[in-house]
Amino acid sequence: MEEYKNIQSLLTDIYGEEKSSLAFKKIIPLIEKFPVKKGRAKDYFSQEDVVLITYGDSLNKNGEAPLKTLHAFANKYLKDVFSAIHILPFFQYSSDDGFSVVDFLSVNSELGAWKDIEVLGNDFQLMFDLVLNHISAKSRCFEQYLKEKRGFEDFAIEVEPSTDLSAVTRPRSLPLLTGFKKRSGKAVNVWTTFSADQIDLNYKSIDVLEKMVKVLLFYVTEGATILRLDAIAYLWKEIGTNCVHLRQTHSMVKLFRSILDRVSPDVMIITETNVPHIENLSYFGDGRDEAQMVYNFTLPPLLFYTFTREDSAVLSEWAKGLHLKSKTNTFFNFTASHDGIGVRPLEGILPKKEIDKLVEVVVKNGGRVSYKKNPDGSESPYELNITYVDALLKNKKVLDTYHADKFLATQAIQFVLPGIPAVYIHSILGSHNWEEGVKQTGRARTINRKKLKLDNVLQQLKDPETFRHKIFFPYIELIKTRKKHPAFHPNASFKILKIDPKVFAIKRYCESQTIYALTNISSEHVSVSLSGDKVLHEMKDLLTGKRFNTKSFVLNPYQFIWLSNTNI
């Protein structure tokens, strides 16, 4: 079948000649009966693309399904702001706030139903999590495996405890293997990368592959326009290797991309790989055969470091490397998410002593630190658990008059970099650490996952004196301004400018517009001149309408301006 030649080739690369034929016979019928046949848009990306990241129940109202509450709030306040909403796993689950999925095909009844997802999808594009690496230990599939049912024999990855697994890259400090007993009485130890309740799927089993391709296609029928491949880096395991970014993993991403390109080419893939920057870039493939987007995991910790040190030099040098070869790829820029601030992406950029200083700041500001296990048995910081708002505190016990300005300045940098910006709901709402939640769950990540009462949020948004108000409305205007300007297209050209260590400066430009985006990353007033870059002597700030003499002007502490030579 010539039209499926690429899919057949990828299956052969993953499984070998004989086994790939069996896989091909299982997958092709799923593709051929798929109902959605969309045409590819002219471009994947636009400057109007901005993604909201939220749990289905981040906002709650008495007597109302949380997904309905989210929809009502988004329609009233965010309709012309965000183009897409990433609803973090909203499926039936047993732990990890949704990432230990019991049933991939069912909506958590405590949140709502598929109808609520459909209605939300009428007003916003939707991003779903495809939790590929693992499934809940309480899922029916794993129960069938333990019962030794036909078709589930190779569902999990069994490993003898005596096996040398020291080379395996570990994102956690928990045991890699978890013991279970099958119905026959046989004791087995199965691979659990993230927790004892999250059973790694065995993709060497064609039955597993078939089941997950069905899930992939089902999500597209239910309205997903972006699919987030969760923890994809760990998908394929080979004893004796580090079991991260293996060739078969990349081939699997290519397989999913090839399937989507055939049945619904408008649906994009984004890979979630909390790893060093160079490793992260590998998931773009050749620019057209793997992910359209990758999470820019280096940005959150490096931006945090920049504002902590009040020095933009390292950030500016790193940002010079954000050029991409293909216009069909871009970065997914974010500063905060449901997880913490990853530390691994700083490897090779900052020395250990500087990372240790960031750990100290987080602890001082009421945060927590999650650790990973190293091959030599030692532990090192993996993730900083804190809201991005509170990470930027100068002194937790003293009122910081610049706190709101400082936080908004970090977000402004996120919005001027090449890529699509994504905003966690607790960032745009200016949420502080939820320390009570950590006490309740015993999990560090809970600190940035507070379930908010909608009435309380609305009351605070109405009060100009509250921190929420001071963050939310300027943030909204920031996004709306960005969306108007083609120079902020995710793939528009850019140049990092060297002006002052206390200023991050970037030139964004396209045929119709040039913008000079300057951000004071310090608590000091900084004198600035743009005269060396063939700039007009006077330009307007797109954010405030104020005109600046570009030969000489002063940026206030944490002030950011977007100077343009057009009136767009």
**pLDDT single digits (tens) 58-103:** 999 999 999 999 999 999 999 999 999 999 999 999 999 999 999 9
Residue 94: exposure state from Cβ atoms within 10 A (0-12, 13-18, ≥19): middle
- Residue 497 CB contacts under 8 Å (≥ 6 apart), including other chains: 505, 506, 507, 516, 530, 533
Give CA–CA dist 410/163, Å, rounded. 46
Partners of 527 in beta bridges: 554
Mean pLDDT, range 541-560, rounded to an integer: 95
8 A C-beta contact, residue 512 and residue 47: no
Give CA–CA dist 157/469, Å, rounded. 50
* Residues that are catalytic: 230
pLDDT of residue 37: 64
pTM above 0.85, yes or no: yes
Q: Determine the 3-state secondary structure of 113 from DSSP.
A: coil
Mean pLDDT, range 229-250, rounded to an integer: 97
Q: Is the pLDDT of residue 458 over 90?
A: yes
8 A C-beta contact, residue 451 and residue 58: yes
Per-residue tokens: 237: 């395991």
Residue pointed to by tokens 């991005």: 388
Best CA proximity match to 391, nearest among 414, 362, 434, 368: 362
Q: Determine the 3-state secondary structure of 557 from DSSP.
A: coil
**Kind of pairing between the strands at 91-95 and 100-107:** antiparallel
Per the prediction, the chain carries an average pLDDT of 95
Q: Residue 532: which pLDDT band, with cuts at 50, 70 and 90?
A: low
Domain 493-564 has CATH 2.40.50.140: no
Which amino acid type is present at position 181? K
% of the chain at pLDDT higher than 90: 90
